[in-house]
Chains A and B, each alone.
Chain A
């Protein structure tokens, strides 16, 4: 009889430290017009933004809750602290960042990464960006990387932001998009001018420290023609027993011939509801590449969407999801082929263990006008015990005869034969299992920047205790 393979959860200890937050910084929990007005006043919103926030609140109140996917019944938005004011404004000099916040990001390795391998860094702590910096030579090339709230008041960008903000993800999209529109705070604005290709990535790191709080940052990235950007997003929070909520929004505009790679390593703690919305609009011959690692949170609904809107546009999605005890991670992607000769490629892996549930959910839509389009989807799932769940729920909606769409999915467990073979070559059982799981996750790790790939591989290796049961 085949032996069972046991693999431990991802070790989260490096993320589970926290500092006491100052309760005086909290606005009230829940959401009301008065509170929206207060956030708007606090942020000195232009009139259009204040009106948009109130409109979003109205839509939020009228929109019904999702009735598919993992249960979010235990999430009470009325008990979530939707906005936390920081006493100190955003800094461009790391030394000026408040000590406890600085230490948080130091422990997460953000300043070191900035020094070694990044073109710019943004760090958000609870509701506000606390640090933003971009290398001098990058700024001189015309690249803008700043916080969205400052940019909204800058004469050079304010019209651009007004014409793009929540246009790709309208508040009517779903209930949490409307909530985001009402209470959003923090996040980044990136603008890459025509023809500028950034060789080294920009990174934003989101840290939710406060108990029972929500984080609603908005990321707006605009790439002009023939430009290139790699943007990295990292997220974490310490563990509390009270539910937290992340309902961020990412809007990516990729112009003709431009190329954007958007990498995310999500490691929220297991009390978090991660209901994030990400969307890219890709014009002629442009391309977007999503690299997504989902390891944390209690419940996730995460499906980055690519709208291929110009001839020859392309999208690629590479993802891995690791669901352990108490986690229901519902992840995947949505791709809309809305122009001729567009192409998409999806490659995902998921691992379920210790009662965790992972669901791969996708939608590939090829519209009537997308003649000559191609799409290929490949998803694989690994079940590590029989108390876990793994589901795949893909949908293909094809409306032209001039398209080629392929889909493959596979589900199974670690092959005992493979473990036996590796052991016969001199590896211990633990090493053999770790090697197999690392190999399974190879599609994502090889797409990550080196330091992230090493961290991910180390996590997998460390957490394989190899006991057979």
Chain B
């Protein structure tokens, strides 16, 4: 069976940079499906321990939260297809906190006035590959994404997030914060794609990476693709060491250097955790991160 390339960059670039695909390919599997019902507005929490495919058709004018907590001991696939109905407000939380590798693939489509809030958290776990493809097809549909990662040892993480603006006056906001220790490797590919016809659309993307390990490898690939005149797009990235002035301030308050670094690293991840907005999940994360 043919291997499937993962996390394909929407517009390929110089081959020698090694960012056009994830450095791991997989074969197709038929994972069991799970249908998610958003109709009652409750929070749906799923512990994902085996490969699973999520299906959801979110009705119009509904709200709901889906929390997918992956802490499997062996490699799993987590894929999903979610259609968000008109004027619905959906939050999708994905937490990858297992000892094993994961391959994630999520397709989301948003109708008129739909709002999608996506929170993704990656904490260690070998080699994680995550692709999320969001199509804002409806008028004034909106995506807000917060991604956090905390990597150490030889962790590898490859994220491919695509926000396609198809509808008019659509909005996307992508915020990424990460901490890299030891010999961890990470590639973040974030694409804002303004398709022809998406007039009035706005997209913004920002990645903030704190490098703490001597042998880390960080790749940041923020794309803006534009086939529409009347749009506003921007992206920014900040990669590197802890700001000298900030560290000086922390030391002047009586902290030793390691405590200050730990505190700053924790604050980066905490700012993403705070977006989960589900007490049960946050408590679970706090207990596991301590």
B235 and A408 contacting across the interface, CB-CB below 8 Å: yes
What per-residue 1/0 map shows which CB atoms of B110-154 lie under 8 Å from chain A? 000000000000000000000000000000000000000000000
CB B227 to nearest CB in A, in angstroms, measures 5
A398 and B211 contacting across the interface, CB-CB below 8 Å: yes
In the bound complex, residues from chain B placing their C-beta under 8 Å from that of A396 are 218-221, 237, 239
B233 touches which of A334, A359, A412 (Cβ 8 Å): A412
Chain A, Cβ-Cβ closest to B228: A386
Q: What's the Cα separation between A383 and B236 when bound, in Å?
A: 19
Q: Tell me whether A401 and B241 are in contact in the complex, defined as CB-CB below 8 angstroms, given that A388-B229, A394-B222 are known contacts.
A: yes
What per-residue 1/0 map shows which CB atoms of A388-400 lie under 8 Å from chain B? 1111111111111
Q: Tell me whether A395 and B17 are in contact in the complex, defined as CB-CB below 8 angstroms, given that A383-B228, A389-B227, A407-B236 are known contacts.
A: yes
B231 and A412 contacting across the interface, CB-CB below 8 Å: yes
B14 touches which of A384, A395, A408, A411 (Cβ 8 Å): A395
B12 and A404 contacting across the interface, CB-CB below 8 Å: no
The answer to the question of A138 belonging to the interface, with a C-beta cut-off of 8 Å to chain B, is no
CB B91 to nearest CB in A, in angstroms, measures 28
In the bound complex, residues from chain B placing their C-beta under 8 Å from that of A404 are 239-241
Please, could you name 29 A-B residue pairs with CB atoms under 8 Å apart, sorted by A? A2-B230, A68-B11, A68-B12, A68-B13, A68-B14, A361-B13, A381-B224, A384-B229, A388-B229, A391-B223, A391-B224, A392-B223, A392-B224, A393-B221, A395-B220, A395-B221, A396-B220, A397-B17, A398-B220, A401-B211, A401-B213, A401-B240, A403-B241, A404-B241, A405-B239, A407-B236, A408-B234, A411-B194, A411-B234
Interface centre among B194, B226, B227 (most CB of A within 10 A): B226
Q: Tell me whether A410 and B229 are in contact in the complex, defined as CB-CB below 8 angstroms, given that A68-B13, A393-B11 are known contacts.
A: no
A409 touches which of B12, B209, B231, B235 (Cβ 8 Å): B235
The answer to the question of B232 belonging to the interface, with a C-beta cut-off of 8 Å to chain A, is yes
Q: Which residues of A contact B (CB under 8 A)?
A: 2, 4, 67-68, 334, 359, 361, 363, 365, 368, 381, 383-386, 388-413
A403-B211, A404-B241 known, 10 other contacts, Cβ within 8 Å: A381-B224, A384-B229, A388-B227, A392-B224, A395-B13, A398-B218, A399-B216, A401-B212, A405-B237, A409-B235
Q: When A and B form their complex, which 10 residue pairs have the shortest distance between CB atoms, in order from nearest?
A: A401-B211, A68-B12, A404-B240, A407-B237, A411-B233, A405-B239, A386-B229, A383-B229, A396-B220, A398-B218
A403 and B240 contacting across the interface, CB-CB below 8 Å: yes
Q: Which residues of B contact A (CB under 8 A)?
A: 11-15, 17, 19-20, 194, 196, 199, 209, 211-241
In the bound complex, residues from chain B placing their C-beta under 8 Å from that of A385 are 229
CB B42 to nearest CB in A, in angstroms, measures 40
Chain A, Cβ-Cβ closest to B223: A393
Chain B, Cβ-Cβ closest to A368: B215
In the bound complex, residues from chain B placing their C-beta under 8 Å from that of A384 are 229
In the bound complex, residues from chain B placing their C-beta under 8 Å from that of A412 are 231-233
Chain B, Cβ-Cβ closest to A391: B225
Chain B, Cβ-Cβ closest to A410: B234
Chain B, Cβ-Cβ closest to A398: B218
CB A67 to nearest CB in B, in angstroms, measures 7
Q: What's the Cα separation between A407 and B11 when bound, in Å?
A: 19
Chain A, Cβ-Cβ closest to B199: A386
In the bound complex, residues from chain B placing their C-beta under 8 Å from that of A406 are 236-239
In the bound complex, residues from chain B placing their C-beta under 8 Å from that of A359 are 11
Q: Tell me whether A413 and B13 are in contact in the complex, defined as CB-CB below 8 angstroms, given that A386-B196, A401-B211 are known contacts.
A: no
B211 and A407 contacting across the interface, CB-CB below 8 Å: no
CB A416 to nearest CB in B, in angstroms, measures 10
Q: Tell me whether A386 and B237 are in contact in the complex, defined as CB-CB below 8 angstroms, given that A68-B20, A400-B211 are known contacts.
A: no
Chain A, Cβ-Cβ closest to B209: A398
CB B21 to nearest CB in A, in angstroms, measures 12
B221 and A401 contacting across the interface, CB-CB below 8 Å: no
B229 touches which of A393, A400, A413 (Cβ 8 Å): A413
CB A281 to nearest CB in B, in angstroms, measures 17
In the bound complex, residues from chain A placing their C-beta under 8 Å from that of B216 are 398-401
Q: What's the Cα separation between A383 and B225 when bound, in Å?
A: 12
Q: What's the Cα separation between A91 and B223 when bound, in Å?
A: 49
Q: What's the Cα separation between A412 and B203 when bound, in Å?
A: 11
B226 touches which of A383, A394, A398, A401 (Cβ 8 Å): A383
B236 and A391 contacting across the interface, CB-CB below 8 Å: no
In the bound complex, residues from chain A placing their C-beta under 8 Å from that of B215 are 368, 399
